[in-house]
Amino acid sequence: MEANRSRLLTTARPYLQLLALFGLTPPPVFFTRTLKRRRRGIFIAVYGCFIVSIALVVCYECYVNIVALQQEVNQFHADDFSKVMGKAQKVLVLVIAICNQLNILLNYRRLSRIYEGIAALELDVDNASKDFSSRRYWWSFRFRLALCIGLWMVLTIGLVPRLTLRRLAFYLHWANKLVTEIILIMLQLKCVEYCLFVLLIYELILRVRHNLKQIHEELQDCSCGNRIKELCVALKTNQLLVGRIWEEVGEISCYFSLSMALLFFFNGLTILHIVNWALIKSINPNDCCQYSRLGVVFLLSSTIFLACLHSEFCIQAYNGIPRILHQIVCLPAAEEYPMLKMGLREYSLQMQHLRLFFRCGGFFNINLNYFGGVVVTIFGYVILLVQFKIQSFAETKYFETNNITEMTD
Rounded-to-integer distance, Cα 192 and Cα 148, Å: 9
Rg (CA), the chain: 26
Rounded-to-integer distance, Cα 188 and Cα 298, Å: 13
Give pLDDT, residue 408. Answer: 40
Backbone angles phi, psi at 168, to 5 degrees: -65, 155
Rounded-to-integer distance, Cα 402 and Cα 404, Å: 6
Three-state DSSP at 20 gives helix
* Per-position DSSP letters for 207-225, written without gaps between them: HHHHHHHHHHHHHHH---H
Q: Which residues contact 382 (CB under 8 A, 6 or more apart)?
A: 272, 275
Three-state DSSP at 359 gives strand
Each residue's pLDDT tens digit, 201-232: 999 999 999 999 988 888 887 767 777 888 88
Count of CB atoms situated within 10 Å of the CB of 46: 9
First and final CA of the chain: distance in angstroms?
Answer: 73
Give pLDDT, residue 261. Answer: 92
Provide the angle, in degrees to the nearest 10, between the axes of the packed helices 37-76 and 81-106.
Answer: 180
In angstroms, the Cα distances linking 24 to 193, 233, 400 are 8, 42, 47
Give pLDDT, residue 197. Answer: 95
Regions of the chain where pLDDT drops below 50:
1-4, 405-409
Give pLDDT, residue 286. Answer: 58
Domain range annotation of the chain? 7-401
Contact call for residues 242 and 204 (beta carbons, < 8 A): no
Give pLDDT, residue 2. Answer: 47
Q: Which residues contact 56 (CB under 8 A, 6 or more apart)?
A: none
- The beta strands (E) that lie in 116-254 are given as none
In angstroms, the Cα distances linking 226 to 134, 222, 294 are 21, 10, 64
